[in-house]
Amino acid sequence: MSDARPILLFDSGVGGLSVLAEVRQGLPNAPIVYVADNGGFPYGTKTEAEISARVPALLGRLAERYRPRLIIIACNTASTIALAGVRAALDLPIVGTVPAIKPAAEQSETRVIGVLGTNATVRQPYVDDLSAQFASDCLVLRHGSAALVELAEASLRGEPTPDSAYADALAGLLDQTGGDRMDIVVLACTHFPLVADRLAAVAPRPLTFVDGAKGIARRTATLTRDQQWPDTPAPGIAVFTATIDLSEGLRNALAGMGLTKIERL
Ligand code: DGL
C-alpha cells in the first residue's frame, strides 16, 4: 500500500537544497516538503536563545500542517543549537545536520582541518565535542561567515557574485596560524556546498571540501527502509514562512529540485 506522507526538510533559506539533492538520489519517489524559514533568515547571526525558541515551535506547526513521516533539519545552525529541543517536542524521527568533522579527520593528511560555518555554529560546544571525539590529534580551525550565506542565496537566484568575496571567506581559515597546512575544509553550513565550486576556484592550492549531506541521505533511507513510497514522484512543495518575491532564478532552482508547488505558512 502506498504511503503519501512526506519527508519535511527545514532550513532558514535555500541551503537545505544541498541536502535535498542527496535525499532525492536515494529516495526518488519520496514526497517532499521543503521549508525555508525566510521569515527568520539568517540564523547564523542570531542568538542561541532565539534559535532555541523559534525552531521547535515552527517545526511543531509544520508537522501539524504537513504530517511528515520524518523531519530533516537541513541546517547546521538549527541542529547544533536546537536538535535536542525539537526531539523533545515532537514525536517523530528527526535527522539533524552536524559539521562533518569526523569524515574530515579521517581524510586529513596534514592533520589541520578547517570548519567553515555560520558565526552561531562555529561557537557551539557541539563543535568542541565533535573535535575532541573525532579530531583530537588535529588542529581544528574555525571561521564563521555570514557573507558566504548571502552569497549562496544570491548565487542560487542566478545573481552574479564576485570571486573576491569567496576568497575572503576562505581567508578566514587560511590566514589563521596553521592555516597554511590545512588540507580539508568542512562545509558546516548547508548553504556552502551550493558554492563549493566557487570556493575551490579561488583556493590558493587544492583543498578538499566535505559536508554531511550524503550521510543524512543514508540515515534517512535507513530510518524509512521498511516504509512504502508512491509509485511516481508527487510534485514537491516549497514552503516559505514570510512573503517572498520569487525571482525566475529561484523558481527555476526550486523546480530543478522537483519543488513546483509554492506555499506560505
Ligand atoms: N543553512 C544554515 C546552516 O546550515 C544557516 C544559514 C543562516 O541562516 O545563517 O547553518
- By DSSP bridging, strand 184-188 and strand 139-144 are unpaired
Arithmetic mean of pLDDT, 202-211: 97
Four-residue CA torsion sign, 33, 37, 38, 43: negative
**pLDDT tens sequence across 41-79:** 999 999 999 999 999 999 999 999 999 999 999 999 999
Report the separation in Å between the CA atom of 198 and the middle of ligand 1, taken as the mean of its atom positions: 18
Nearest C-alpha neighbor of 29 from the set 202, 233, 207, 196: 233
Q: Which of 35, 73, 75, 95 is catalytic?
A: 75
Which residues have CB under 6 Å of ligand 1?
A: 11-13, 15, 41-44, 75-77, 118, 121, 149, 189-191
Mean pLDDT, range 139-146, rounded to an integer: 98
pTM recorded for the entire structure: 0.96
Residue 245 pLDDT: 83
SS3 188: strand
Neighbouring CB atoms inside 10 A of 249's CB total 14
Q: How remote is the CA of residue 75 from the centroid of ligand 1, in Å?
A: 5
Say which residue the cell 513510497 belongs to: 229
- Average pLDDT on 224-253 reads 93
Q: pLDDT grade, residue 1 (50/70/90)?
A: low
Annotation says 189 is catalytic = yes
Locate 207 and state its grid cell. Answer: 583543498
> Does residue 234 sit in helix, strand or coil?
coil
- How far is ligand 1, taken at its centre, from the CA of residue 210, in Å? 16
CA 264 to ligand 1 center in whole angstroms: 20
Q: What is the pLDDT of residues 107-129, one digit of tens each?
A: 999 999 999 999 999 999 999 99
Average pLDDT rounded to a whole number, residues 219-226: 96
How much is the pLDDT for 41?
97
Q: Mark 130-166 as b/e (b = at least 16 C-beta within 10 Å).
A: bbeebbeebbbbbbbbbebbbbbbebbbeeebeeebb
Does pLDDT of 200 surpass 70?
yes
Instruction: Select which of 78, 81, 185, 189 is catalytic.
Output: 189
Known catalytic residue: 75?
yes
Q: Order across the sheet with 112-117: list the strands.
A: 139-144, 112-117, 184-188, 208-210
The reported pLDDT for the residue numbered 233 is 87
**Residue 146 alpha carbon, nearest atom of ligand 1:** 9
